Amino acid sequence: MSGIICTSLRIAPGQRISVKGDVPTGAKSFVVNLGKSKDDLLLHFNARFDAHGDIKTIVCNSKTKGKWGTEHRETNFPFQEGSSAEVFFTHDKNEVTITLPGNHQFKVPNASGFEGIEFACVEGDIVFKGLSVA
């Protein structure tokens, strides 16, 4: 599926990002990347239906100067092939809060320490429907 890249964003700590998309049948994996650039990510959010050896698992990580940080796995997996999905993200200097469909929420450390998001990318098996900030 095609991806979408947003640059020159000015998303401050505390602002809530919404990413919406439709998950096609047969989906294996989709990604939401948030940060300063593709190589400097405050959050790599990878929903794995069946990818990289994981089944129905969310893998989160950070990336600094192109190098991956420590993975965090979330087994609450409320995504369904053939349905729409909306995920919310907020951040501060210490952590990133992710709110999944059905309102399950979890946090991962903000290993990057970034206080602000300028770059967003949504790619993989998701038909992008929108990104908004509130």
Ligand X SMILES: C=CCO[C@@H]1O[C@H](CO)[C@@H](O[C@@H]2O[C@H](CO)[C@H](O)[C@H](OCc3cn(-c4n[nH]c(N)n4)nn3)[C@H]2O)[C@H](O)[C@H]1NC(C)=O
Single out the segment in contact with ligand X by CB under 6 A; choices: 9-17, 53-61, 86-94, 109-117.
53-61
Provide the mask over 22-41, with x wherever binding to ligand X is found by CB under 6 A and - wherever it is not.
-------xxx----------
Question: Judged by CB under 6 A, which of 7, 26, 39, 52 binds ligand X?
Answer: 52
Name the residue whose CB lies closest to ligand X: 124
- Residue 123 binds to ligand X (criterion: CB under 6 A): yes
CA 73 to chain centre: 13
- Residue 57 binds to ligand X (criterion: CB under 6 A): no
* Smallest distance from ligand X to CB 98, Å: 15
Provide the mask over 79-118, with x wherever binding to ligand X is found by CB under 6 A and - wherever it is not.
----------------------------------------
Report the 10 Å Cβ neighbour count for 25: 9
HSE of 28 in the Cβ direction (CA atoms, 13 Å)? 5
Query: Applying CB under 6 A, which residues contact ligand X?
Result: 29-31, 44, 46, 52-53, 59, 61, 68, 71, 123-124
